[in-house]
Structure formats: structure tokens, C-alpha cells
Structure 1
Amino acid sequence: MAVAGGAKCVKYMLFFFNFIFWVCGLALIVLGVMVHQSLLNTAIIKGYTGSPVVLIIVGVVIFFIAFFGCCGAWKENQCMVTMFAVILSLIVIVEIGTAITGYVFRGKLPEFLDERFKSMIAGYNKTEENRDTLDAIQIQFKCCGANSSDDWINFSANKTSVPDSCCKNMTKNCGVGAIHNAEKIYMDGCQPSLDKFLMKNLLWVAVGALVIAFVQITGIVLACILMRAIRSGYEVM
């Protein structure tokens, strides 16, 4: 027995919202890929790329279950609509958890960056990974050291040199004896700029997850209303 009246309106609304879910899934995939790529390019935090990956996975799942929800709504299949609501509820929980994780990590970011910078500066001459990462950061953000060029005081035996990546015009050995030469090198540290950059990325992850979760909650409510209408129709029969 087909639903009628207000329930029929809910049916079409749920069908429409599934198209919105499809768009949301695509948006999550794009957002997750963009943020994940940004964090990978900033190798100093390569161990903290979990939230964007979760968003990508959730986006792919939403992308496919949107079709499942459309079929359930159109055919008025109670089982399909119920499964759609359950799966969507689980996804919302994951998204909220991702947003909370991003928010919590934002508060710990300065401390984490400080520890990472100290460790990588100390190991600059020991491993190619540390050297390439710090050089890339200093070139990208036009900075030197974590808080200032003084962080490179132990870089060389003469205590007055910095890596060439600190130079405004980078050439071979341009950082030799230039630790306090503002005309040749950038004096400001990288940590404030990097902190601002990462805060912005994490904020986008949190906001994106919460906004899309809110839209999905509306879909869950509509699915529950349609389930009740379908069940009532069977009971009348």
C-alpha cells in the first residue's frame, strides 16, 4: 500500500535529500583530499592526518548509500529505509567524532609543533628526511627556525650559520655566518606561520563535518517519519 498525504510529501523530500547526501558525500571527499594533501605537504605533522582520511572514507560511503536511500524512498521499502537511517546515523556519529578530534587537536597543536621542531632541528644534519622537511617549510613560509634564527645556534661549529633555506635569495652557502643578518636571511621563526596554517585546515575539517552532519540528521528524521508511515500502511492492510 502506497503512502499518501503528508507521508507522500515526506517520501519525495527524502528522495530529494538523498541527492543532497550525494552532494555532501562528494563534498566530504573533496574536502578530505584537499586537507589531507595539505597535511602531507607539511611533513612535520605526517602522523596526524587521520581526520581527513576519515572524512574521505565517510564521503565515499555516503556517496554510495545515497543511491540506496533513493531506492528505499521511491519503492517505499521499509527495510531499505530502515537500513539507510541506521547507516546514516552511524556516519553522523563518526563525523561528530572527527569534528571533536579536530577541535581537541587544535588545542594541542602549539605544544606538538614545538616538540617536533626541536627534534627535527636537532636531527637536521643526521637524516635526509629532517633536512628536506625543514628546508621545505622554511622556503614555503619564508622563515628560519622554530621561533627565530637563533634556533640554529648549534647548526655549525662557528655558531653563526644557518641552513641555506633560511636565505631570502637562496644560493650555496648563503647561510654561512648569517644567523643575525636580517638582510640575508629571514629572522622570524616558522612555528607561528605553520600553526596558523594548520589551525585553518583543522577548522575546515571540523566545520565541514558538523555542517554535513546537521543536513544528514534532517534526512534521518525524514527516514524515520517515512518508516512509520510505511508501517502504518501495512498495519491498515
Structure 2
Amino acid sequence: MLEDMAEYSCGQNLARLFLVIFNLIFVIVGLALIVVGGLLKAGAEFLDVLGSFVHEIPGLGNIAIAIIVFGVVIFLIGIFGTCGSCCSVRCMLILYAVLVMIITLAEVVIVALLFSGTLDKTVTKGFSNLTKKYKMPADIKNIDAGDIVSRLIDAVFISLKCCDYENIVGASSTKIPPSCCKGLSRKVLESGDLTAIQACYTGPSDANSYINKRCGVALIDMMRDNQAYVIGIGVALLVIELLCIAFSLWICSQINKKNRVSSI
């Protein structure tokens, strides 16, 4: 980077420095997510270090895969931005700009839907369709044995304290996924005392489950309860992302000029 600083203006060098620093943070965050996901997948020793919180989440091993995948995506975006700006690699900068544009457009669409009031139906319908892929466990002792989609849905049910069971094959108003039951945690599963969960599993009610609370509504309510934070974080991210796109394209234009001059 130092060798070709003279080929850029002061502003462009500052833009390159901004991209390098910002995307190094992305690289570090991505690596951290990959490591944490790997450790969560690997074994009990790390879970003991983290304490009781993670023990509340059934199916944690499969959820760890999603953390690893997300970490890899963040890491790759950071690598494209860092190497592209530091080493003046045009193709990396273009790919980086395109990826950030896609993320930015997705965020803008989500915010627009949230304020237009149509996000409620979109989220509710989308999650309802996703639950069609849920596979009911053979019994409550086998809640950890399913596929990753089912375990991620379980995690949503538990974290949002909701239950979209209507499209789940094998579920009904008299038999719901164990993750819809109040009081379910890894500690309870490991204790072997599943009397209360069994009663909920085959006889759900408002008292022992979240059977009448829809996840789409729960998510929208949570977002609206924290609307000020959502707007603040969203605006900050939007500004940073727009700067990243503008700076990367600006540097690309300078690389093009440099290549044209060198080819003469």
C-alpha cells in the first residue's frame, strides 16, 4: 500500500485507509464468528466456560453451523474490501462494492416495509412458509436430533417466545413442537425431568405454551419496541455502507486511469 500511495491523491489515500481499517474489522468479526461457531459445534468444555446462557438453547450444535456460515460471508466481504483497497485489486473492489450494494438495498427494503406496515404480513407469511420444512421430533427427548432448519426454527420459537405450528406436519392444537413450551431449556432436557414439557407437548394451553403467539407478530413488536435503536443503527450502517461503495468505486476509477496511462 505504501509503495503506490504517490499514485493516488490525498483524498483517495484517506479513502483507501478508511476501507482497510473498516474491512479489517469485518475480517476480525468474521474470524471471531467462525471460531465461536466452531467451538460451539466442537464440545461441552467451551459451553461450560460460556456459562448457563448457552445451556438454555436446545439444538445449539446445529445453530453453530449458521454462525460459521455467517462468519465466512462477513470474513470474505472484509477480505475483498481490505485486499482490494490495500493492493489496488480492481476486481476485488468491484465485487466488494456489489456485495455491499446488495446488503444496503436489502436493508432499505426492510426499513421501507417496516414503516409501510406491509412487513408484518411479509414476515408472518415468510416464516409460516418456512415452518413447512420443520420436522417434528419423535418425542421431546429427541429435540436435538433434527436438521438445521428445524433447529433454527426451534431457536426462533424459544428466543421470541412464540409458536407458528399450523403448517408443521404432525403438529396441531393438541400437539406442538416442544420448543413452543414455556420453561424449555437445555438444563431441563439434561435433568431428565420432562413432566411439565410432556404435558405441554401433548396438551398445550396459554398457561404452559406460546401456542397463540405468532412469531412474525412477536418479531415486529420487538422491532417497534426498540424502534429508536433500530433507526439509529440503521442510519449509521447506511452511511458507512454508502461511504464504502463510493470509496471503492472511486479507487477503481483511479486504477483504471493508472492502467490506461501505463499502457500508453
TM bin, normalised by shorter chain, reads: 0.5 to 0.7
* TM-score, scaled relative to structure 2: 0.50
Number of the residue aligned with 2:204:
179
Match of 1:26 in 2: 24
Deviation at 1:20, TM superposition (A): 0.3
Q: How does 1:62-211 map to 2 (within 5 A)?
A: 62-69=81-88, 84-85=89-90, 87-100=92-105, 109-120=123-134, 123-126=135-138, 128-129=145-146, 132-143=151-162, 145-146=163-164, 155=171, 160-170=174-184, 172-175=194-197, 176=199, 178-180=203-205, 182-186=206-210, 187-194=212-219, 208=237, 211=240
Inter-partner Cα distance in structure 2 for 1:205 and 1:56: 21
Q: Distance in 2 between matches of 1:53 and 1:63?
A: 15
Paired residue type of 1:63? T
Q: Tell me the residue number matched to 1:3.
A: none
* Structure 2: unaligned runs, 5 residues or longer: 1-5, 38-58, 114-118, 185-192
Pick the structure with greater CA Rg: 1
Q: CA deviation at 1:146?
A: 0.6
- Give the structure-1-normalised TM-score: 0.54
Distance 1:132 1:85 in 2: 41
Distance 2:72 2:235 in 1: 13
Aligned length: 200
Gaps of 5+ in 1: 1-7, 70-83
The amino acid across from 2:136 in the alignment is: Y
State the one-letter code of the partner of 1:183. A
Distance 1:59 1:87 in 2: 11
1:101 is displaced (CA, Å) by 5.5
Amino acid of the residue matched to residue 89 of structure 1?
I
> What is the Cα deviation at residue 30 of structure 1?
5.7
Deviation at 1:12, TM superposition (A): 2.4
Query: How far apart, CA to CA, are the structure 1 residues paired with 2:181 and 2:246?
Result: 52
- Whether the aligned pair in 2 keeps the contact of 1:35 and 1:52 (CA below 8 Å) is yes
Q: 1:140 deviation in Å?
A: 2.2
1:141·1:194 contact (CA, 8 Å) conserved in 2? yes
Q: Give the root-mean-square deviation of aligned CA atoms.
A: 5.3
**Residue identity matched to 1:93:** V
Following superposition, the deviation at residue 22 of structure 1 comes to: 0.7
